[in-house]
Chains A and B, each alone.
Chain A
Amino acid sequence: MKISLNWLKKYVDINVDNAALEKLIDSRLVEIEEIIDESKKYDNIFVVKVVECEAIPDTHLHLCQIDTGAKELTQVVCGAPNVHAGMLAAWIAPGAIVPQSVHEDAPFVIGKRKMLGKYDSCGMLAGADELDFTTDHSTIVEIDPEIAKPGDKLADIFELDDVVLDIENKSLTHRPDCFGVIGFAREVAGVLNQKFVSKPAIEAADYKKIDAKIADQAICPRYSAVVLKKHGEIKKKYLSYQDNLLAKAGMRPVDPIVDATNYLMLLTGQPLHAFDYDKFLAVGGTTEPKVGVRLAKKGEKLVLLDDTEIELIDTDIVITSNDVPVALAGAMGGKSTMIDENTKNVIIESATFSLFNLRKTQMAHGIFSEAITRFTKGQPAYQTLSVALECADMLKDGFEISEIIDSGYTPEENVVKITTDEINELLGTDYPLERIAKTLDNVEFGIKADGKTLTVTAPAWRTDIHIKEDIIEEVGRLNGYDNIAPVLPAHATAEKNKMVATKSQIRNFLSLTGANEVLTYTFVHGDLLEKAGQDVKNSYRLVNSISPDLQYLRQQIVPSLLVKAYDNLKAKHQSFALYEMNQTFSRSTGVDEDNVPIANNNLAMVVVDNTEETKYYLAKKYVEELGKKLGIKFEFKKFVPVPKEAFYEPKRSASIYIGDKIVGCIGEMKYSVLNKFKLPRGVAAFEISLEALTEFATLKKSAPEISDYPTVSRDITITTDKPYEEIFEKLQAKLTARDLVFKITPTSIYRADGKAPSLSFHLDFADKNKTLDASEILDIMSELEKIA
């Protein structure tokens, strides 16, 4: 929302400089997105009188002699059809920038030049578009001789030396009253600690009344309108100050009726809509207006002002003429009752509508007008009729009121009782009663004080005030939150979150051992699930995703990592391990006690290089060593896959156990899956439950046993077809049985073609009580060699 500072100054006495004002608004009212300095925009643009005006033969141009206030006349060529001797025009002097182009990269600077090879033309007579008032390029602007004379600066006449504040609307979501200049000015008075006094509203005289048929007050809390009959012409000949205000707010001047409704909306926050009265009767086939407000019926259609035909939904509110829809309430008028240059009589509507319905209308039809932006904040009902009457007053040169419509409303009385202690205790302040009362009184709250208790009555436009906290907010805000001293509360100790701590530990370990942590999206494409052989139906599906890439919640992390593995191989990284800790969801997992899907926190890793050698054993090493850090002993047993693990090759994968509980799986991908991901064979991955890691991680560590007697080192090779683990466990068992302190280090596995593998180990062992002699060592070794 754009607000002209000059306009604001008409309603509030701003007694600080612009920088201080901006800071006050920014810190006590609303965020200013941008401050647009227009103080130089109209420099060197003057009011001039066209003294002579001669047509240049065979062209559309005129040769004009203009009075710029200087002694000599100046010659300028003008192509506008309305240029004529005697008029006052706006002249952009040589060297000045055309205001329309001020914000462009290469602003257009006016000069002196020769036209048609022989006519000197000095400067330019400006159209409303060049002055950045409208987009109308057909004519030049004409200035009222009653307000200006040749040589006046255009900026002085129309108060164009201005600063425009561009306000962030979002933080005013609950403040419909601030969407009008008057309401905004009231708040500015408040932050300046000045008393604001609203002008009394126009009262309705004794006009003839017509009824409106409101189907339900919930959709239209109040409907007011004035019917205006034409009695004369409104001459819209001259450029006006109002044109400038509309232009600054981004609403181009169009015609006197529409401009009046737009101007009043900007001023009061109450949107108005003008219907062509005669068209309104014709559509309804009546002789008196039969105005109705109701919900649209499914399948009803309406052609809007902008010529688009929409199919109405059953939450849309429509204005009807004898039950025929003529406007989409709050959003846009209909084509069939649109005012045009032949309009004689008009109905000016001023109403409030359900913001809930209008929100749906806005979404369904994509309408984001200035009016609907205000309505969806919940405009209060108190001022509908008075604003309509004000509009009639603005148009009184051409129109007079013949009838009025007002469905009436029940004023809300919002009264809050609060003590100064309650205010100070929540804010952390010690504001005295007088200061609190003045703060609220400045912005027209009703105040009654009784000891420390205040009875606060919210003004009619503050329909957002209901509870004590609403009053506390006003007091804190208008006095400046920045004036509240930051104070630390009493200190307490915190509990450790074990999963967060475990994740931190995992992150430290894996990164120190050369792996890279990545984060990938929780949402995946359906194709990814299919490539991984996962059942798409087992994934929660998003219904409003911006892209098919983000359509499903992932069931596992590994498939996302496989995609990143491919990307990184392509980027010439040769050997790497990517890991991620994140949440996964499967529909089959069900919901928790809050009835929301159970989240599974997983640690996943893929190990990749550009060879086809298996990376299973490196992946396993990561799991085993991580286990040692966390105090967890993992076991790798026959793969028992669940459906979401369908992409692992069962012959080259294992289930990971802690005790007898499966906590994850590890393995290579199926060849067909690797082909789909364009990855080389040998890629391995694992995915483990972080809940399990957190549950079983322990601080308990057992100290290694150390013997005081010499350690014997020997190598041993055992050739066998039995699983590795069986041999390893037997070695352990034998050495344990002899009550030795020992360490077994695998050194290699060799296999000649068609033969059983040879498993080599390095052994370190020592007796706890004595030095082992040669025969004892021989005895041990020969026993071990028989294991195969």
Chain B
Amino acid sequence: MELEKLKSELKALNAEYAKIKTIPAEKRAEFGREMNAKKTALMKAIAEAEAAALESEVEPLDITAPTAPNQKMPAFLPSEQGSKHPLMTELDRVIEIYQMMGFDVVEPRQLDDEFHMFDSLNFSKGHPARDGYDTFRTEEGYIPPAHTSTMQHRVLKAYKKNLEEGKNIAVVVPGRVFRNEDVDATHEHTFYQCEGVYVSKDCTLGNMLGILREFFEKYYEQKLDISTQPGYFPFTEPSLEFKIEKPKTLGGKKGEFIEMLGCGMIHPNVLKMAGIDPTVYHGFAWGGGIDRLVMLRYGLKDVRYFESGKLNFLKEF
């Protein structure tokens, strides 16, 4: 047997290694290296032989059959056991409302580059504002996006034809984003956002507030007061933080506001870079977290459950 032969070789090698004591001190290092190299190679061969031995036991399966011989016909798992991920349920709902409101949906990519993450969004090169995003980076310099705004440039370019046809751009981008930070009950390095982009000849900041209020009123199925705060994003000017009155379903009281997203009028440089003339068109954009919506809805206290894969958690949804 190949495997037994290899194992006895290993034994012999170990025995030979013991000779190291009899070797002159200056030659020991080289001897040790040689022996270790042999041992590593032998261990690898043994692992492969063991795997091969395991695999040789394997009987082929009729891949076209409906079941295995003498085994019952497969039946789906009980329906009541199934579940959708709460984040995906929420995302589907968010998408559904925006689609009702006339927004197309574009999905983001999970690996992008410096240009889309920063340059196309009017972050000047080496600007400290780039640090606020705690981005991951690959060896090649690619970036798993830290916000869905990374898609703005692509959306503007792809939908520019709408403007040429006399229509508006109205697109939302829901998807996964990443921040290089430690995970705790309220922080995840992996989370979900939904971006919105709207461009037309005559849209106003008042329209932006109108659309956002409309979305949250549909989402929470009640009339809501809104409030804002000045913000700063290099890619919008003016920039705002948008808050809604905490909805009754979430136990909100009159006058209590919760932060929902960042928004603003698209910076002319961002439009220009996508080939849209900012003296003719203007637009607004916004982006907010989805995880928070789910946590608020269910009163969840720990964001870490979302990517835990724990059935005890998931089956409840």
A507 touches B111 (CB 8 A): no
Contact of A428 among B83, B102, B206 (CB under 8 A): B206
Q: Which of B62, B116, B212, B310 has the most CB of A within 10 A?
A: B62
**Chain B residue at smallest Cβ distance from A376:** B128
Contact of B66 among A497, A573, A617 (CB under 8 A): A617
A576 touches B205 (CB 8 A): no
Binds A, one of B1-9, B17-25, B36-44, B232-240: B232-240
Is A15 in the interface zone, CB < 8 Å from B?
A: no
A487 touches B206 (CB 8 A): yes
B138 touches A621 (CB 8 A): no
B71 touches A614 (CB 8 A): yes
A519 touches B78 (CB 8 A): no
B240 touches A481 (CB 8 A): yes
A491 touches B102 (CB 8 A): yes
Is A486 in the interface zone, CB < 8 Å from B?
A: yes
Contact of B65 among A496, A568, A749 (CB under 8 A): A749
Is A369 in the interface zone, CB < 8 Å from B?
A: no
A654 vs B65: C-alpha distance in the bound complex, in angstroms?
12
A521 touches B190 (CB 8 A): yes
A497 vs B211: C-alpha distance in the bound complex, in angstroms?
21
**Chain A residue at smallest Cβ distance from B132:** A170
- Closest Cβ of chain B: how far from A761's Cβ, in Å? 10
Residues of B with C-beta under 8 A to A516:
81-83, 311, 314-315
Binds A, one of B27-35, B85-93, B246-254: B85-93
Residues of A with C-beta under 8 A to B230:
27-30, 171, 473, 477, 481
Is B297 in the interface zone, CB < 8 Å from A?
A: no
A497 vs B108: C-alpha distance in the bound complex, in angstroms?
13
Contact of A355 among B74, B128, B311 (CB under 8 A): B128
Residues of B with C-beta under 8 A to A507:
84, 88, 92
* Binary flags per residue of B104-145, CB closer than 8 Å to A gives 1, else 0: 111101111100100000000111110110001111101010
Residues of A with C-beta under 8 A to B213:
486
A508 vs B85: C-alpha distance in the bound complex, in angstroms?
11
Is B14 in the interface zone, CB < 8 Å from A?
A: no
Within 8 A of B (CB), among A472-524: 472-473, 476-477, 481-482, 484-497, 499-500, 504, 507-508, 510-523
A174 vs B198: C-alpha distance in the bound complex, in angstroms?
25
A492 touches B110 (CB 8 A): no
Given that A30-B230, A355-B128 are known contacts, is A544 also in contact with B206, CB under 8 Å in the complex?
Answer: no
Is B176 in the interface zone, CB < 8 Å from A?
A: yes
A745 vs B126: C-alpha distance in the bound complex, in angstroms?
66
A513 touches B77 (CB 8 A): yes
B204 touches A427 (CB 8 A): yes
Binds B, one of A5-13, A274-282, A394-402, A666-674: A666-674
Is A426 in the interface zone, CB < 8 Å from B?
A: yes
Is B312 in the interface zone, CB < 8 Å from A?
A: yes
A516 vs B309: C-alpha distance in the bound complex, in angstroms?
9
Is A583 in the interface zone, CB < 8 Å from B?
A: yes
Residues of B with C-beta under 8 A to A654:
63-64
A521 touches B307 (CB 8 A): yes
Is A695 in the interface zone, CB < 8 Å from B?
A: no
Residues of A with C-beta under 8 A to B275:
none
B204 touches A428 (CB 8 A): yes
B310 touches A567 (CB 8 A): yes
Is A406 in the interface zone, CB < 8 Å from B?
A: no
Given that A28-B230, A499-B107, A746-B73 are known contacts, is A171 also in contact with B113, CB under 8 Å in the complex?
Answer: no
A544 touches B65 (CB 8 A): no
Is A616 in the interface zone, CB < 8 Å from B?
A: yes
Within 8 A of B (CB), among A61-115: none
A495 vs B172: C-alpha distance in the bound complex, in angstroms?
12
A596 touches B109 (CB 8 A): yes
Is A739 in the interface zone, CB < 8 Å from B?
A: no
Contact of B314 among A28, A482, A517, A522 (CB under 8 A): A517
Is B178 in the interface zone, CB < 8 Å from A?
A: yes
Interface residues of B (CB under 8 A from A): 50-51, 54-55, 57-85, 87-88, 92, 95, 98-99, 101-107, 109-113, 116, 125-129, 131-132, 136-140, 142, 144, 154, 167-168, 170, 176, 178, 180-182, 189-190, 198, 200, 202-207, 209-214, 226-232, 234, 237-241, 265, 267-268, 282, 306-307, 309-312, 314-315
A-B CB proximity, top 5 nearest: A428-B206, A514-B77, A428-B204, A725-B64, A564-B309
Q: Given A425-B204, A583-B110, A651-B61, 10 more contacts at CB 8 Å?
A: A489-B210, A494-B170, A497-B105, A499-B107, A514-B80, A541-B138, A561-B309, A571-B311, A578-B311, A583-B176
Interface residues of A (CB under 8 A from B): 26-31, 170-175, 355-356, 359-360, 362-363, 376-377, 425-429, 467, 469-470, 472-473, 476-477, 481-482, 484-497, 499-500, 504, 507-508, 510-523, 540-546, 550, 553, 561, 563-564, 567-568, 571, 573, 575-578, 582-583, 585, 594-597, 599, 613-614, 616-618, 620-622, 625, 636-639, 649, 651-654, 667-668, 670-672, 675, 723-726, 728, 746-751, 757, 759
